[in-house]
Amino acid sequence: MSEEERIVLFDTTLRDGGQTRGVHFSVEDKIKLTRELDEMGFDYIEGGWPGSNPKDMQYFEAMKGIPLQHARLTSFSSTRLKESRVENDKILTELLRAETPVFTIFGKSWDLHVSDSLGTSLEENLAMIHSTIEFLKPRGEEVVFDAEHFFDGYKANPEYALATLKVAAEAGADWIVLADTNGGSLPSEVAQAMKAVCEIIDSPLGIHAHDDGGLALANTIVAVEHGARMVQGTINGLGERCGNANLCSSIGALTLKMGYHSLPEQKIPHLTRLSRLVSELSNKPHQESLPYVGERAFTHKGGIHVSAIRKNTRLYEHISPETVGNRREVSISDQAGKSNILQKANELGMVVEDAHAKAIVAKVKEMEARGYHFEGADASFELLTDELMGKRSEPFTVHGFRVHSWENKDGDIWSEATIKVSVPETAASSTGSSIEHTAAEAAGPVEAMDMALRKALGAFYPSLADIRLTDYKVRILNEEAGTTATTRVLINSSDGKRRWGTVGVSENIIEASWRALVDSMEYKLKKDEEDQS
């Protein structure tokens, strides 16, 4: 396949997507998603803006010890400040601390922004772009220049907008990315600007489209048709205001419709799973109407549609849902549901026989109807699968727990958890007793339960001391029910070697948290046993 047919995917979910109102990725979330994007085959992952907040710097520090197999990690920043020297610029100093192989720099291409936002001259802005790229080029492997507000700038002052690209290319930028930052450009305007750019710029070009006009995908496609070979965007279209171009839709259109190579072919069926994972990590419901990866993308309801789809799915489906890892909703066949379960089990390294797959499908559907969601909770899914195949061991049995909270003399709320557990005789041989009844107190009920459970089991299973709860998310599933609403709790855990997620659902938030905690401990013990065998 020629380079002309290759589309380079630049994911900015962790940076631009993290600017979505209500989305707050933890450092652990960002690391998990980075690993997933790398495994999927994305080319560039924009991790954040060093120096803009402590969390992004913590992320980049952590990533220094995490090698990526395919993707190139990039940090993001602006050009140097006006009338300053690059060597002394605080923004660039923070950028260098991230030590990423790629630096992504944005600079102003709209003269209105230069005068009203930066408050400097057009000449100084060009110097800022040139000196910044020239300074960073020998200090990293690549420099990506994002021409901010390029299309608005081109409409207002085409000569100056193009001049910003020229100085970026002259300074050594490896990629020049044209940004529709306000998201209001029309496809015809993007096409016109792209033609003008291609006449004077030899550097590889990219597109960064926002969706304020509902045209981010259309503008991305037009830009590619006119020479762009890097496509920037976010999973699920996360981003400020109306969001960025949705990479799931971009990949679907460019790869499945237009024949470009983006993700490795074998990874395309994992798009829906990736989309759901990002929704979970964003702590937001998965958008049912998302193209390609939404639950309603291949849903058919009654009448002529259902009659037709049973005869030939192509009559009302533009692609096969399995192509992107989604599924058809009419009356889902046992075989289709079985395929999804078998695929998931295979990803987790499990062997599931066809004889058990039907029962697993039915159980998963039943639990999803009650509010469970296993994206982001692979450990709970694995334990459930073991149970339905008759392979789930019981390293401990919980006979009961109690949690209560009180206000101390200083006005602080404190919690205490009491628990009674037993373990099999084989695990109790070293202590002489198979029953433990203990308590622990902490600042909150979940922390108290976690400490009490580990305290009770620690004498039998010392390795549980290695577990750390790295994230805790709560989602109310039916807000209209008020205080009786169903709650879903997602807990992420780590023992320093592996990371896993567990889920619990209940009308009682304490019970939902407890179920996720118990699954986390059991999963850790299961993996320890597998490591020893």
pLDDT reported for residue 3: 53
pLDDT reported for residue 4: 58
Check whether 303 has a pLDDT greater than 60.
no
Check whether 75 has a pLDDT greater than 60.
yes
Which segment of 30-34, 305-309, 358-362, 471-475 scores lowest on mean pLDDT? Answer: 305-309
| Closest to 141 measured CA to CA, from 168, 113, 173 | 173
Region 28-49: mean pLDDT is 97
pLDDT reported for residue 272: 97
% the chain with pLDDT above 70: 93
Report yes or no: 154 and 193 within 8 Å, Cβ to Cβ. yes
pLDDT reported for residue 123: 98
- Which ranges in 204-246 belong to alpha helices (H)? 216-225
Report yes or no: 298 and 259 within 8 Å, Cβ to Cβ. no
If one compares 185 and 3, the residue with the highest pLDDT of the two is: 185
Specify the 3-state DSSP secondary structure of 211.
coil
Region 219-231: mean pLDDT is 98
Token digits for 226?
A: 């006119």
Q: pLDDT, tens digit, for every residue of 346-404?
A: 778 888 888 888 888 888 888 888 888 887 788 999 999 999 999 998 899 999 999 99
| Amino acid, single-letter form, for residue 453 | L
Region 200-205: mean pLDDT is 97
pLDDT reported for residue 353: 82
Angle, in degrees to the nearest 10, between helices 509-532 and 445-458: 30
- Which ranges in 283-424 belong to alpha helices (H)? 303-311, 334-347, 354-369, 378-388
Check whether 110 has a pLDDT greater than 70.
yes
Report yes or no: 491 and 501 within 8 Å, Cβ to Cβ. yes
Check whether 431 has a pLDDT greater than 90.
no
pLDDT band for 308, please (50, 70, 90 cuts): confident
Cα–Cα distances (Å) from 420 to 80, 160, 404, 429, in that order, read 61, 73, 15, 18
Cα–Cα distances (Å) from 333 to 317, 336, 358, 359, in that order, read 17, 5, 10, 13
pLDDT reported for residue 432: 57
- Sheet containing 397-407: give its strands across: 397-407, 413-422, 435-442
Check whether 91 has a pLDDT greater than 90.
yes
Output the CA angle 102-127-125, nearest 5 degrees. Answer: 95
Classify residue 122 as exposed, middle or buried by CB count within 10 Å of its CB (0-12, 13-18, 19+): middle
Q: Look up tokens 């304020």; give the residue.
A: 212
pLDDT reported for residue 373: 82
Region 265-288: mean pLDDT is 94
What phi and psi values does residue 355 have, to the nearest 5 degrees?
-65, -30
Region 262-279: mean pLDDT is 96
Token digits for 379?
A: 């450990």
Region 238-244: mean pLDDT is 97
Which segment of 118-132, 474-488, 513-527 scores lowest on mean pLDDT? Answer: 474-488
| Closest to 181 measured CA to CA, from 256, 129, 232 | 232
| Closest to 374 measured CA to CA, from 364, 388, 363, 366 | 364
Give me the long-range contacts of 295-303 (CB less than 8 A, separation at least 24). Answer: 295/329, 296/329, 297/321, 297/326, 298/326, 298/327, 298/328, 298/329, 299/328, 299/329, 299/330, 300/328, 300/329, 300/330
Check whether 175 has a pLDDT greater than 90.
yes
Phi/psi region, residue 390 (left: phi>0; alpha: psi -120 to 50; beta: rest), is left
pLDDT reported for residue 187: 98
- Antiparallel, parallel or unpaired: β 175-180 and 72-78: unpaired
Check whether 310 has a pLDDT greater than 90.
no
Classify residue 410 as exposed, middle or buried by CB count within 10 Å of its CB (0-12, 13-18, 19+): exposed
Chain centroid, CA 466 distance in Å: 26
Chain centroid, CA 176 distance in Å: 25
CA pair distance 458, 462, nearest whole angstrom = 5
CA pair distance 457, 524, nearest whole angstrom = 12
pLDDT reported for residue 374: 83
Check whether 334 has a pLDDT greater than 50.
no
Identify which of 40-49, 81-90, 287-296, 482-491 has the greatest average pLDDT: 40-49
pLDDT band for 332, please (50, 70, 90 cuts): very low
pLDDT reported for residue 335: 39
pLDDT reported for residue 219: 98
Phi/psi region, residue 178 (left: phi>0; alpha: psi -120 to 50; beta: rest), is beta
Q: pLDDT, tens digit, for every residue of 464-495?
A: 999 999 899 998 887 666 667 889 999 999 99
Q: pLDDT, tens digit, for every residue of 411-421?
A: 888 999 999 99
What phi and psi values does residue 504 have, to the nearest 5 degrees?
-140, 145
Check whether 127 has a pLDDT greater than 60.
yes
Report yes or no: 163 and 108 within 8 Å, Cβ to Cβ. no
| Amino acid, single-letter form, for residue 446 | V
pLDDT band for 232, please (50, 70, 90 cuts): very high
Report yes or no: 445 and 403 within 8 Å, Cβ to Cβ. yes
Q: Look up tokens 């220094």; give the residue.
A: 64
| Closest to 510 measured CA to CA, from 433, 401, 427 | 401
